[in-house]
Amino acid sequence: MARSCLAIILAAGESTRMKASRSKVLFPVGNLPMISHVIGAAKAAGVGSVALVVGRDADAVEAASRGVTDNLTVWEQKDRLGTAHAALCAEKAIEQGYDDVLVIFGDTPLVRPETLMHSRKMLADGADVAVIGFRTDKPQGYGRLIEQNGELIAIREERDASDEERSIGFCNGGLMAINGRKALEMLRAIGNENAKSEYYLTDIVGIARERGGRAVAVEASNRELIGINNRAELAEVEQLWQWTRRVDMMKSGVTMIAPETVFLSHDTLIEADVTLEPNVIIGPGVTIRSGAVVKGFSHLEGTTIGAGCTVGPFARLRPGADLQTGSKVGNFCEVKNATVGEGAKVNHLTYIGDASIGANANIGAGTITCNYDGVNKHFTQIGAEAFVGSNTSLVAPVTIGDQSYIASGSVITQDVPAKALAFGRARQENKDGLAEKIRARNLAIKAASRKSQT
C-alpha cells in the first residue's frame, strides 16, 4: 500500500500469569520469540515504522524486535493504566504523522499479515477505526462487537452487556487500526471513568462516532487472535503454529509419515520430495534439499542436508553440519561444525566434530574425532575415498590423506599420507592358558564374597 503506517506494539505487561523470570513476549513459538512473530506480521502488512512499548525486560525485548526490523523506536510504560495509556506512551511517534496506525499486542504471534492489511484497507476506504474481531460459540468473558448497518457502534464488555448483547458471538480481538491523522486527538480524548480508573483503548470507537467518524469491524479467525497469558496457552499456540507449518510443507511436496510428531522452526527450509519419518525435531537454521530422507528420532539444528542424503535414525546434527549430496549419517551419530562430502558415509555410533570428510569416504563404527583439548578446538581433515576402520580415535589436528586406510582400533596422532595404511595400536599378544587361570581366580573371589555374606 502507498499509505504510510506506524505499528504500536504493546509489550509492557508484567507476565504475572506466566510465572516466569522473563517477559512473556520473549517466549518462543517455532523457536522465535513471539514478539518477533508479531513484528514480522506487521512488517509483511506494509508497516514502515514500529513503536515498541516496553516495560519488563525492556533491553531483551528491544533486541528481539530489532532482529526483525531496524526501523524501531522504543517507549517505556512506567505505570500500567490501561491499553489506551500504553498506546499513548508512543505519543511522540504518532506525532510524526502517518496515514494508518496499527495497535497490536505483543503476545499474539499467530496474527496474519492479511488481517492487518484488511484493517488498513478499511481505513483507506474511509473508516476512522477498524477493530479486529473473531466469532466464537463461547463468547463468555469477551467484549462484544455491536454492529448496525455495517458499522461498529460499540464494544460492550460482558459485565455491561444486555442479555441480547451477550448472545452475540462476534467478539473483540483487541487489535485495531486507527486513522493516523486523527489517532492522537482520539487517544487523548479517552478518559478513565470506570471501575479500574484505567484508560481503555476500546473507548475509541465511541469517540470516533461522537466526532462524526465511522468505525467498522474486521473479522479474523479466532486462532490468530489468541493471546498468550500462561504456559498452557503458549503450548496451544505452539501446537497451532506447528500444524499450520506442517500442512504448508506437505502441500509443497514434503512427506511426513506422522506429521503430529515432527517439530519445525520458524526458518526451516525443506524442498519437495523430502521424507521426514516420525519424531524428527528441527531446530533453527536447517535446510533440507530434495530427495533427502530424515529417519525417526533425529534432532537437527544449524544444518544443511544436501539432495539425496540419508540421516538417522537417532542422529544428531548440530550447528555447522553440512551434508553434501548423497552422503549418509546413520544411527546414533553426531556431527558438529563439519562437512560430510558427496557420497561419504558416517554410518554408526560416531562423533564427527570440527572436521571435513572428503567425497566417498567411509567412516567406521565408533570413530571419534578428538577435537577438544580442554581449552581449544582443533580440526580433522579426512580425504576423499579414505577408509577409517571401526573404533578409531583421530586426535586433532590431524590430516588423513585421500584413499588412505586406517586400521580398526587405531589412535591416530600424526598425519597419514594419501594411499597409506596407518596402524595406531599396540601389538597383540596371546598368552596360552592364561584366560583359564584368570577365570578360576575370579570365580574363587566371587564364591568367597558370597560366603562372607551368609
Q: Based on the domain organization, do 241 and 157 belong to the same domain?
A: no
In a domain, 273, yes or no: yes
Q: According to the model, what pLDDT value does residue 381 have?
A: 98
Q: According to the model, what pLDDT value does residue 448 have?
A: 92
In a domain, 90, yes or no: yes
Q: Based on the domain organization, do 141 and 101 belong to the same domain?
A: yes
Q: Based on the domain organization, do 199 and 235 belong to the same domain?
A: no
Q: Based on the domain organization, do 208 and 238 belong to the same domain?
A: no
Q: According to the model, what pLDDT value does residue 339 have?
A: 98
Q: Based on the domain organization, do 270 and 307 belong to the same domain?
A: yes
Q: Based on the domain organization, do 213 and 245 belong to the same domain?
A: no
CATH number at residue 180: 3.90.550.10
Give the confidence band of 452 by pLDDT, cuts at 50, 70, 90: confident
Mean pLDDT of 128-134: 97
Q: Domains in the chain: how many in total? A: 2
Q: Based on the domain organization, do 189 and 265 belong to the same domain?
A: no
In this structure, how many other beta carbons lie within 10 angstroms of the beta carbon of residue 252?
11
pLDDT above 70: percentage of residues in the chain? 100
In a domain, 338, yes or no: yes
Nearest residue to 256 (alpha-carbon basis) of 271, 274, 276: 276
In a domain, 288, yes or no: yes
The pLDDT tens digits of the residues spanning 354-398 come to: 999 999 999 999 999 999 999 999 999 999 999 999 999 999 999
Q: Based on the domain organization, do 218 and 297 belong to the same domain?
A: no
Give the confidence band of 290 by pLDDT, cuts at 50, 70, 90: very high
In a domain, 436, yes or no: no
In this structure, how many other beta carbons lie within 10 angstroms of the beta carbon of residue 60?
16
Q: Based on the domain organization, do 155 and 294 belong to the same domain?
A: no
By three-state DSSP, how is residue 236 classified?
helix
The pLDDT tens digits of the residues spanning 105-116 come to: 999 999 999 999
Final residue before a domain boundary, out of 191, 209, 225: 225
Q: What type of residue sits at position 440?
A: A
Nearest residue to 412 (alpha-carbon basis) of 428, 433, 397, 430: 397
Between CA 399 and CA 416 the distance in angstroms is: 6
In a domain, 218, yes or no: yes
Give the confidence band of 454 by pLDDT, cuts at 50, 70, 90: confident
The pLDDT tens digits of the residues spanning 323-358 come to: 999 999 999 999 999 999 999 999 999 999 999 999
| Active site members | 348
Distance of CA 398 to the CA centre of its chain: 37
Final residue before a domain boundary, out of 160, 191, 225: 225
Q: What domain range is 74 assigned to?
A: 5-225
Q: Based on the domain organization, do 111 and 182 belong to the same domain?
A: yes
| pLDDT of 431 higher than 80 | yes
CATH number at residue 347: 2.160.10.10
Q: Based on the domain organization, do 194 and 239 belong to the same domain?
A: no
In a domain, 441, yes or no: no
Between CA 53 and CA 69 the distance in angstroms is: 15
| pLDDT of 151 higher than 90 | yes
Q: Based on the domain organization, do 137 and 264 belong to the same domain?
A: no
Grid cell digits, residue 219:
473479522
| 3-class SS shares of the chain: helix, strand, coil, % to 5 | 25, 30, 45
Q: According to the model, what pLDDT value does residue 117 have?
A: 97
Q: According to the model, what pLDDT value does residue 376 have?
A: 93
Q: According to the model, what pLDDT value does residue 387 have?
A: 97
The pLDDT tens digits of the residues spanning 188-239 come to: 999 988 878 899 999 999 999 999 999 999 999 999 999 999 999 999 999 9
CB 405 within 8 A of CB 422: yes
In a domain, 447, yes or no: no
